[in-house]
Amino acid sequence: MMTTISLSINERPVQIDAEPRALLVQLLREHLGLTGTHCGCDTSQCGACTVLMDGRAIKSCSVLAAQADGRAITTVEGLAATDGRLHPIQQAFSEQHGLQCGFCTPGMMLAAVDLLQRNPDPDDQAIGEALEGNLCRCTGYQNIIKAVRQAARACQSAHSDGA
């Protein structure tokens, strides 16, 4: 038995049939080929599968695909602008070298985007608390925190320029 799911993924409407037991991360990776979202622990501990649902960070391995019906999902593939310009958090991760193996990186960036939407000027403690659900085994987190700080500055600068 299949269920039809209608949702928006990276601002594109998608209608797809999936098993009721299918997880959102499976829908993204296996049905839609959006393999930028990684699946690490499969038990909502590592945060590698983090995506945005209606603007808030969620772990897509702990959400059924059917629960995303009618929602707007943003994955790492949808962060950059349509003309290819990187999102400030992507630019910051690149410039601050906030990744080594890269497995946690998409989840880290989307959790950071959620943080910056709620708190445009986070201190290191706020960044650490926001990313506590995202594990990184390579970087020691230092460059990740630097990247989030840089992205916060870039977002504030862009906001003040546009104001």
Partner 1 sequence: MEDAWFELTVDRVHPPQAKRTTTTSACSQGIITGESPRYQPHDEGPPIAGALRQPPNTE
Q: Report the distance separating Cα 152 and Cα 136, nearest Å.
A: 21
Q: Report the distance separating Cα 126 and Cα 131, nearest Å.
A: 9
Can residue 157 be called a binding residue for partner 1 (CB under 8 A)? no
Of the pair 14, 126, the CB lying nearest partner 1 is at 14
Q: Report the distance separating Cα 161 and Cα 163, nearest Å.
A: 6
Distances (CA, A) of 89 to 77, 78, 105: 13, 12, 11
* Least Cβ distance, residue 98 to partner 1 (angstroms): 9
Which of 37, 60, 139, 150 touches partner 1 by CB under 8 A?
37
Tokens 């959790």, residue located: 111
Largest distance between two CA atoms of the chain: 52
Of the pair 57, 76, the CB lying nearest partner 1 is at 76
From residue 70 to residue 109, the character string flagging contacts with partner 1 as x (rule: CB under 8 A) and all else as - is -----xxxxxx-----x---x--xxxxx-x--x--xx--x
For binding to partner 1 (CB under 8 A), which residues are involved? 12, 14, 16, 30-37, 75-80, 86, 90, 93-97, 99, 102, 105-106, 109
